[in-house]
């Protein structure tokens, strides 16, 4: 499954790449890309684990950039 | 922008208090400290707050934390004015940086603003309703008014109009459409009202596929981006560790060195410890390059391909459909005993019933209307040609074999190997011959010379055609080398030889029409498919897709690639150079914290501004 989320208020490029790296390490994620310019993240991963992946992803974003709001596209 | 305004007010009022402190310069230490401290907290309070919050979240090496340590450290060693100044300039820089990023984001959004917002659907009742294009299904009837964007790929059922395809192709000349013609989503209807039937859902429509492709292109990262990501990972910890060592070791090891002096030097390191300039500006340059290219009708499917294209050394073209139009046209008519027009008229009528490409090209070459009632007794002779009666005359049109079969003596063409020759006899007497061949595209010659100008060392053409045809096309265009008579698998083998011949760093680019050369496209370092507009197969198979049929776009793509790479290199040099210089000067005691703030946020802003040049790619006419 492949899903795109919008990261509203993503201002720091270094944080974006830290977020990307951390999300790649979530169990079940096969690929993750944060596009800083469009402020979007595309995650590809196991269908069965996707709810868990989404929850973990939100935690990671919150940890690095507490002011960013994650929105499903 | 309310957030920004509040921020600006805070920074300005802090700056005023700070200025007051410097001008007034109270003798009392505590008053002085109170003034600077309050200025500091007003300006940098949010940075401190975020730093503390992030420590509790387990994020130590973050920008806020490092900036807080650096400025608090400045206070601790009695450098109040500098502590406040660093925070002030950091905040101003951050604000400008966020402004610059926002501005680039807007330019990118404008570049990709080809998504249709709505569709006018005609219900069975005849009512016209404005809906989200995503809600429509294949077979729905839509109405497109002048000035509106075509919402979904569809076929015209009623009305005629001119269509502006420039958003997809970069081509400024409008295209005329009428009933039965295909419409591609994302183009703009210029003057007439058109009614059309939807042929593809929104998700599958051209505009959506193109936007997806461009947005996702950044996921295929270039080497420069990978280098920077890796670099950024080690840079911050390395600088922070050096800072700690710098603060502690010299005063302990070297007699007479003060802690204050070395801590100050260490603080300089902390200020420059964020790799932000690089991390922002390099992907931005690539993204800008990809966006700018898409505006010229060149879709690049990854930053890595855009980067590789700059080192294109060998360019290999497929002939048919790439350098030539891939359609047959009458290129020479040699009548014998009758006029050229008469010859064409008779042949066009004799061939009028046939759908063979050669017959079609003969019909097309005749300037008048075909009146099939003048034609009778049509008989096709397999492998040889056609016989028919036109206006009562017996016409035979076909290859040399047909003439020989009928026992007609004819003048063999000397240029016969350049294409297909049709010999014609009227009432069993030779009446002339017609040469039909593929035409070279208008901009093919320009394409080759521009490629050479763009630094390409070798141009090669592969073709399944004969040596003579291949040689003529290559000679006319100035192509270095031709391999003719190749079958599809022969093309792959040739390509592999060419890959071996090039220098290790140079790249081999193959350009084909994407229809039956998928294996060659895949084998090349970079595969470019031409005429991608509306062809899913081409978009799928290639790394770069040229939406129009113009081979000269390859040179434009290389130019965009070179410009992008140039900006990327400039940014890496500016950022690393400045940081390196300030770090070195700081370590030996020649740089102040002011220089450090510049090396941090100042350089980031310069790099972003430099990268945003890429967003202003002009559309070539």
CB of B600 less than 8 A from some CB of A: no
Question: Please, which pLDDT band fits residue B311 given cuts at 50, 70 and 90?
Answer: very high
d(CA B433, CA B412): 8
Residue-level pLDDT at B448: 94
Mutate to test the interface with A, among B103, B110, B280 (most CBs of A within 10 A): B280
Asked whether B246 and B150 are in contact (CB, 8 A), the reply is no
B53 touches chain A (CB under 8 A): yes
**Interface list for B 261-280 with A (CB within 8 A):** 274-276, 279-280
Q: How large is the average pLDDT for residues B457-467?
A: 88
Nearest to B429, CA basis, from B413, B410, B416: B410
Nearest to B299 by CA among B518, B546, B551: B546
B91 pLDDT higher than 80: yes
Is the predicted pLDDT of residue B208 greater than 70, yes or no?
A: yes
- B242 CA to chain A: closest CA distance, Å? 20
Residue B493 has pLDDT above 70, yes or no: yes
Burial class (CB in 10 A: 0-12, 13-18, 19+), B68: buried
Q: Which residues, listed in sequence order, are joined to residue B300 by a DSSP beta bridge? A: B544
Residue A40 has pLDDT above 90, yes or no: no
B216: contact with A, CB 8 A cutoff: yes
Contact B287 A37 (CB under 8 A): yes
Q: A32 — phi, psi (to 5°)?
A: -145, 135
Residue that has been written with the tokens 């079609």 in this structure:
B360
Q: Span B341-345, mean pLDDT?
A: 92
**Token pair belonging to B96:** 């400008």
- Strand order in B141-144's β-sheet? B128-131, B119-122, B141-144, B194-198, B154-158, B182-183
B215 touches chain A (CB under 8 A): yes
Q: What is the mean pLDDT of chain B?
A: 87
Tell how far CA B608 is from the center of its chain. Answer: 20
Mean pLDDT of B467-479: 88
Give the pLDDT score at B196: 95
If DSSP codes are grouped into helix, strand and coil, which group holds residue B55? helix
pLDDT of residue B619: 47
Within B255-403, strands assigned E span: 298-300, 312-318, 324-335, 375-381, 385-390, 393-398
pLDDT at B170: 77
Q: What DSSP character marks residue B191?
A: S
Model pLDDT for residues B547-571, shown as the tens digit of each residue: 888 899 999 999 999 999 999 999 9
Q: Rounded to the nearest 5 degrees, what angle is found at the Cα of B295, between the Cα atoms of B616 and B145?
A: 120
Tell me the helix, strand and coil percentages in chain B, rounded to 5. Answer: 55, 20, 30
DSSP letter (8 states) at residue B349: H
| Interval B404-409 mean pLDDT | 91
Which residues of chain B have a CB within 8 Å of the CB of A10?
none
Contact A37 B62 (CB under 8 A): no
Residues of A in contact with B290 (CB under 8 A): none
| C-alpha angle B385-B409-B468 in degrees, rounded to nearest 5 | 65
- Express each pLDDT in B105-136 by its tens digit: 887 777 777 888 899 999 888 889 999 998 99
B219 and A39 in contact by Cβ < 8 A?
no
Query: What is the C-alpha to C-alpha distance for residues B560 and B402, in angstroms, rounded to an integer?
Result: 54
Crossing angle of helices B276-295/B206-216, nearest 10°?
Answer: 150
Say yes or no for a CB contact (<8 Å) between B229 and A17: yes
> Looking up tokens 């030889």, which residue turns up?
B497
d(CA B280, nearest CA chain A) in Å? 5
Do B65 and B58 meet the contact criterion of CB atoms below 8 Å apart? no
Report residue B15's pLDDT band, with 50, 70 and 90 as the boundaries. Answer: very high
Higher pLDDT, B414 or B304: B304
To test the contact with chain B by mutation, choose from A20, A33, A36, A37 the residue with the greatest count of B C-beta atoms within 10 A, namely: A37
The mean per-residue pLDDT over the stretch B89-100 comes to 85
Per the listing, tokens 């950044």 go with: B218
3-state class (DSSP) for residue B526: strand
Examine the pLDDT at B452 and tell me if it is beyond 70.
yes
What residues are paired with B197 via a beta bridge?
B141, B155
Q: Cα–Cα distance between B414 and B409 in angstroms, integer?
A: 16
Number of Cβ within a 10 Å radius of residue B253: 8
Whether residues B275 and A15 touch (CB distance < 8 A) is answered with no
Stronger pLDDT, B467 or B573, i.e. the higher one: B573
Q: What's the pLDDT at B621?
A: 37
Residue B64 to residue B78: CA distance in whole angstroms: 21
Q: Where do the domains of chain B lie, and which CATH numbers do they carry?
A: 2-109+221-283+565-616 (no CATH), 119-148+153-199 (2.70.150.10), 298-323+441-547 (3.40.50.1000), 327-438 (3.40.1110.10)
C-alpha–C-alpha distance, residues B55 and B115, integer Å: 42
Query: Is the ipTM reported for this complex over the cut 0.85?
Result: no
H/E stretch holding A40 reads: strand A40-45
User: What is the per-residue pLDDT across B233-292, written as a single tens digit (0 to 9) for each?
Assistant: 888 889 999 999 999 999 889 888 888 889 999 999 988 888 877 888 888 889 888 888
Contacts of A64 in chain B (CB under 8 A): 59, 62
Of the two residues B150 and B66, the one the predictor is more confident about is B150
Using the predicted structure, report yes or no on whether residue B104 has a pLDDT greater than 90: no
Q: What is the pLDDT of residues B504-551, one digit of tens each?
A: 899 999 998 876 778 888 889 999 998 766 567 767 778 999 988 889
Q: For residue B216, which phi and psi values (nearest 5 degrees)? A: -80, -10
Question: In this complex, do A42 and B216 lie within 8 Å of one another by their Cβ atoms?
Answer: yes
Distance set, CA B369 to CA B117, B349, B352, B362, B557 (Å)? 44, 9, 11, 13, 43
Distance CA B618, CA B544 (A): 20
Q: How close does chain B come to A40, measured CA to CA in Å?
A: 9
Of residues A14, A35, A66, nearest to B53 (C-beta):
A66
Task: Report whether B398 contacts B385 (CB < 8 A).
Answer: yes
User: What is the C-alpha separation between B574 and B407, in angstroms, rounded?
Assistant: 81
Q: Does domain A2-72 have CATH number 3.20.20.70?
A: no
**Interface contact B280-A36, CB threshold 8 A:** yes
Decide: helix, strand or coil at residue A14.
helix
Please determine, for residue B1, whether its predicted confidence score (pLDDT) is greater than 90.
no
Q: Do A35 and B215 touch (CB under 8 A)?
A: yes
Flag if A64 and B98 touch (Cβ within 8 Å): no
Task: Return d(Cα A32, Cα A20) in angstroms, integer.
Answer: 6
Cα–Cα distance for residue pair B340/B349, rounded to 1 Å: 14
Domain ranges of chain A: 2-72
What pLDDT does B426 receive?
93
Question: Do residues B100 and B92 touch, judged by C-beta distance below 8 A?
Answer: no
Q: How confident is the model at residue B396 (pLDDT cuts 50, 70, 90)?
A: very high
Give how far B219 is from chain A: nearest CA, Å.
6
Beta carbons of B496 and B503 less than 8 angstroms apart: no
B280 to chain A: closest CA residue: A13
Q: Which residues of B are catalytic?
A: 318
What are the pLDDT digits (tens) for B352-380?
888 777 888 888 889 888 888 899 898 88
The DSSP 8-state label assigned to residue B27 in this structure reads: S
Q: pTM for this one?
A: 0.80
Percentage of residues in chain B having pLDDT higher than 90:
37
């Amino acid at each position: 499954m492949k899903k795109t989320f919008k990261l509203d208020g993503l201002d720091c490029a270094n944080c974006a790449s830290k977020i990307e790296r951390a999300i790649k390490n979530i169990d079940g994620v096969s690929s993750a890309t944060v596009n800083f310019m469009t402020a979007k993240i595309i995650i590809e991963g196991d269908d069965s684990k996707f709810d868990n992946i989404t929850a973990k992803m939100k935690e990671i974003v919150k940890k690095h950039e507490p002011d960013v709001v994650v929105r499903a596209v | 922008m309310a957030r920004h305004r509040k921020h600006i007010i805070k920074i300005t009022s802090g700056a005023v208090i700070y200025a007051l402190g410097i001008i007034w310069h109270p003798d009392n230490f505590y008053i002085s400290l109170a003034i600077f401290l309050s200025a500091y907290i007003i300006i940098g309070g949010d940075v401190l707050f975020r730093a503390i919050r992030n420590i509790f979240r387990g994020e130590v090496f973050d920008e806020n934390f490092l900036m807080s340590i650096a400025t608090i450290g400045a206070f601790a060693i009695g450098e109040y004015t500098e502590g406040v100044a660093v925070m002030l300039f950091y905040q101003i820089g951050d604000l400008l940086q966020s402004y610059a990023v926002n501005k680039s984001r807007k330019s990118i959004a404008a570049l990709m603003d080809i998504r249709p917002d709505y569709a006018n659907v005609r219900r069975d009742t005849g009512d016209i309703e404005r809906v989200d294009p995503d809600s429509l299904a294949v077979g729905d009837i839509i109405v497109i008014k002048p000035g509106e964007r075509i919402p979904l790929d569809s076929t015209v059922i009623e009305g005629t109009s001119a269509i502006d395809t420039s958003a997809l192709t970069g081509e400024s000349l409008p295209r005329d459409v009428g009933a039965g013609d295909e419409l591609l989503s994302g183009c703009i209807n210029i003057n007439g009202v058109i009614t059309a039937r939807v042929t593809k859902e929104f998700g599958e429509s051209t505009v959506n596929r193109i936007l997806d492709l461009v947005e996702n292109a950044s996921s295929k990262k270039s080497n420069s981006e990978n280098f920077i990501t890796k670099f950024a990972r080690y840079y911050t910890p390395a600088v922070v560790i050096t800072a700690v060592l710098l603060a502690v070791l010299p005063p302990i090891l070297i007699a007479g060195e003060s802690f204050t002096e070395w801590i100050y030097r260490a603080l300089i390191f902390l200020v420059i410890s964020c790799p932000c300039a690089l991390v922002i500006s390099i992907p931005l340059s690539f993204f800008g390059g990809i966006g700018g290219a898409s505006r010229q009708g060149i879709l690049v499917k990854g930053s890595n391909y855009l980067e590789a294209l700059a080192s294109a050394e060998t360019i290999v073209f497929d002939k048919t459909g790439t350098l030539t139009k891939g359609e047959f046209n009458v290129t020479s008519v040699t009548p014998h005993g009758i006029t050229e027009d008469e010859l064409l008229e008779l042949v066009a009528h004799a061939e009028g019933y046939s759908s063979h490409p050669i017959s079609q090209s003969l019909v097309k070459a005749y300037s008048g209307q075909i009146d099939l009632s003048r034609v009778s007794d049509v008989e096709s002779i397999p492998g040889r040609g056609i016989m028919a009666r036109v206006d009562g005359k017996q016409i035979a049109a076909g290859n040399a074999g047909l003439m020989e079969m009928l026992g007609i003596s004819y003048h063999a063409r000397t240029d016969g190997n350049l294409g297909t020759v049709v010999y014609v006899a009227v009432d069993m007497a030779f009446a002339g011959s017609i040469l039909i061949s593929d035409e070279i595209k208008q901009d093919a010659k320009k394409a080759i010379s521009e490629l050479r100008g763009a630094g390409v060392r070798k141009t090669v053409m592969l073709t399944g055609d004969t040596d003579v045809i291949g040689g003529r096309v290559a000679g006319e265009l100035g192509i270095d080398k031709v391999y003719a008579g190749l079958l599809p698998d022969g093309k792959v083998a040739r390509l592999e030889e060419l890959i071996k011949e090039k220098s290790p760093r140079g790249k081999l680019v193959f350009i084909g029409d994407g229809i039956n050369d998928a294996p060659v496209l895949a084998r090349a370092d970079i595969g470019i498919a031409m005429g991608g507009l509306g062809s899913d197969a081409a978009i799928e198979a290639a790394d770069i897709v040229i939406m129009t049929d113009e081979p000269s776009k390859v040179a434009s793509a290389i130019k965009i690639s070179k410009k992008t790479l140039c900006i990327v290199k400039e940014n890496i040099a500016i950022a690393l150079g400045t940081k390196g210089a300030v770090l070195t000067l700081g370590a030996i005691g020649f740089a102040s914290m002011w220089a450090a703030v510049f090396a941090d946020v100042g350089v980031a802003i310069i790099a972003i501004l430099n990268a945003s040049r890429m967003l202003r790619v002009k559309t070539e006419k």
